[in-house]
Structure 1
Amino acid sequence: MNPFVFACITPHGSEIIERLSKPDPRLMERTRRSLERLGQRMQEAAPETLVVLTPHGIRLDGLFAVSDSERMAGEVEDHGERVTMERRVDRTLARAIVQSARGLGLPAAAVNYATAEGPLSCLPLDWGAIVPLWFMPEVPIVAITPTRQRSFADQIRFGEALARAVAASGKRVGLIASCDWAHAHREDGPYGFHPAAAQLDAQVLEWLQADDLEALAGLDPQFVDDAKPDGVWQALILAGAMPKGSRRVEVWSYEVPTYFGLICAAVHPAAG
């Protein structure tokens, strides 16, 4: 059974947010429109909490990091503009996710800062979370950062633990896998050019269109390193949380407006 009311795979380039898209608001316009649609679909699903899987949050060596502060706050800047965001954290669900993961033998940590509770208990909200959340309902969140020191299979198992915690909570929960894909599409990008970038993105699109997220676990590590995606780990957690048969993946857009690939996909709970 799928315990999530709706899920999606989203990118997190800053220029997706129109305020940060100067001097060319059309640069990521196709992706922006898809994210607006995903946000509307999430709003219709009426979640009480959003779980966002981000590659850019608190990174703990060898541990799945789960936010357990009173709130999270952050900002994203680009082209001389800035957006800010603050969200409450669903600490009850966050702690349940950690316990569920540990119950499956997975290393997970509940992360807080400064004080156990109160106004100083605030973790940074990174751009991997802020950009997709910009388009989503304003409800409490749980932010989770995967560990790349664990296998692809363990990402799927963590997703299974996440689903168990959500199901036990009885809450209406939405799931966001914040994923940019290959970062080596252009020579003038920060990671340079590698032919693996286009190859990996094409393969990911094929698997998404076939509703075969689990196939990502078979990617060769060297191929992944050459293409430099940051989405594989979050997508595999989503695969574990919403296994094949309990979901329906629908790709809404793909583009490479700069040096990295952007995919928007809706992950619908299967009927029945």
Structure 2
Amino acid sequence: MTPIPFACIAPHGLEILEELSGGTPGLMARTRASLERLGQQMREAAPGVLVVLTPHGTRAEGQFAVTDSERVRGTVEGHGKAVTMERPVDRALARAIAHAAAADGLPVALLNFATGEGPLSCLPLDWGAIIPLHFMPEVPVVVVNPPRGTDFGPHLRFGAALARAAANSGKRVGLVASCDWSHTHAESGPYGYHAAAARLDAQVVDLTGRGDLEALASFDPQLVEDAKPDGLWQALVLAGALPPESRRTEFLSYEAPTYFGLLCAGFQSGEGG
């Protein structure tokens, strides 16, 4: 039995949640439908825990930040509405992942808040985790925030350490890489417009569709700076956790209805369940 029977790349735009879409529920409807499919596939894989890779959680500069609190809790708001989520943390798996990464010489930080355990031991759950988790089975989680930078080798190695820890745990682990892509698709967006956005996202769509996630590490740093994606780092951790010979890719959708790109893809383990 493979320890990671299903993984996915899932976006986190607020309007994906119909409750937060205001008067434009159709704005991200295609992505919403894809996430519903990914959620169904994850439920069929029956994980006992979900590891969520997010670009927006609590950060430890230059380190892989791993939750080690009793719980995580957060709220996202949009168009006058709010969605709140709370999940228990699988602390045993969180510590196993961190220890496996540290044993490989990777910089990793275990994060907690206030008290070692009990009701005050709760870290914030960010929108990068809440949006995709909204579609996933309600099981304990481990939230990981990978560091940014142009050296992607550590992310592939962290993914391999994550997979090793999952295998040693004896648990079925679902993996969610929360990724929005280029953020410079529209002049009206907070980062303005740059032609690099369409170029980078087209390459991401092509590489993901072909299952060649490792090639994301070869992007030119200037292209990344101009396009401003926030998905590269999480996608490469997923690639390290499910290497090419042990994953089957299903590309579901891509759209850029506002200033940033949204992509959904699922990855079944080739080893079966």
TM-score range, shorter chain: over 0.9
SS in 2 for 1:245: helix
Offset, 1:52: 0.3
Partner of 1:180: 180
In structure 2, C-alpha distance between the alignment counterparts of 1:149 and 1:119, rounded to whole Å: 35
Give the percent of matched residue pairs that are identical in Structure 1 and Structure 2: 66
Question: Where does 1:219-258 land on structure 2 (aligned, <5 Å)?
Answer: 219-258=219-258
In structure 2, C-alpha distance between the alignment counterparts of 1:160 and 1:150, rounded to whole Å: 19
Does residue 1:267 correspond to 2:267, yes or no?
yes
Structure 2 CA distance for partners of 1:56 and 1:49, relative to 1, 3 Å: same
SS in 2 for 1:7: strand
CA contact (8 A) 2:184 2:260 kept: yes
In structure 2, C-alpha distance between the alignment counterparts of 1:120 and 1:41, rounded to whole Å: 34
Does residue 1:56 correspond to 2:56, yes or no?
yes
In structure 2, C-alpha distance between the alignment counterparts of 1:73 and 1:87, rounded to whole Å: 7
* Structure 1, unaligned runs of 5 or more: none
**CA offsets, 1:27-74, max 9 Å, x none?**
000000110111011111111000000000011111100000000000
In structure 2, C-alpha distance between the alignment counterparts of 1:212 and 1:79, rounded to whole Å: 38
Partner of 2:132: 132
Offset, 1:2: 4.9
CA contact (8 A) 1:66 1:145 kept: yes
Partner of 2:32: 32
Question: Where does 1:68-217 land on structure 2 (aligned, <5 Å)?
Answer: 68-149=68-149, 151-217=151-217
Offset, 1:127: 0.1
RMSD across aligned positions (CA): 1.0
Structure 2 CA distance for partners of 1:142 and 1:58, relative to 1, 3 Å: same
Structure 2 CA distance for partners of 1:149 and 1:219, relative to 1, 3 Å: closer
CA contact (8 A) 2:181 2:229 kept: yes
Partner of 1:19: 19
Offset, 1:231: 0.1
Offset, 1:79: 0.4
CA contact (8 A) 2:150 2:221 kept: no
In structure 1, C-alpha distance between the alignment counterparts of 2:134 and 2:61, rounded to whole Å: 28
- Give the counterpart letter for 2:70 in structure 1: E
**CA offsets, 1:107-142, max 9 Å, x none?**
101100000000000000000000000000000000
SS in 2 for 1:75: strand
**CA offsets, 1:144-198, max 9 Å, x none?**
0001147211110110110110010010110000000000000111100000000
CA contact (8 A) 1:2 1:247 kept: no
In structure 1, C-alpha distance between the alignment counterparts of 2:110 and 2:151, rounded to whole Å: 20
Structure 2 CA distance for partners of 1:2 and 1:271, relative to 1, 3 Å: closer
CA contact (8 A) 2:2 2:172 kept: no
Offset, 1:271: 4.0
In structure 2, C-alpha distance between the alignment counterparts of 1:196 and 1:2, rounded to whole Å: 38
* Structure 2, unaligned runs of 5 or more: none
Structure 2 CA distance for partners of 1:184 and 1:2, relative to 1, 3 Å: farther
Partner of 2:3: 3
Offset, 1:3: 2.6
CA contact (8 A) 1:54 1:145 kept: yes
Aligned residues: 272
CA contact (8 A) 1:62 1:150 kept: no
In structure 2, C-alpha distance between the alignment counterparts of 1:252 and 1:39, rounded to whole Å: 13
In structure 1, C-alpha distance between the alignment counterparts of 2:170 and 2:157, rounded to whole Å: 21
- Give the counterpart letter for 2:53 in structure 1: L
In structure 2, C-alpha distance between the alignment counterparts of 1:110 and 1:60, rounded to whole Å: 9
SS in 1 for 2:31: helix
TM-score (norm. length: structure 1) = 0.98
CA contact (8 A) 1:85 1:130 kept: yes
Does residue 1:46 correspond to 2:49, yes or no?
no
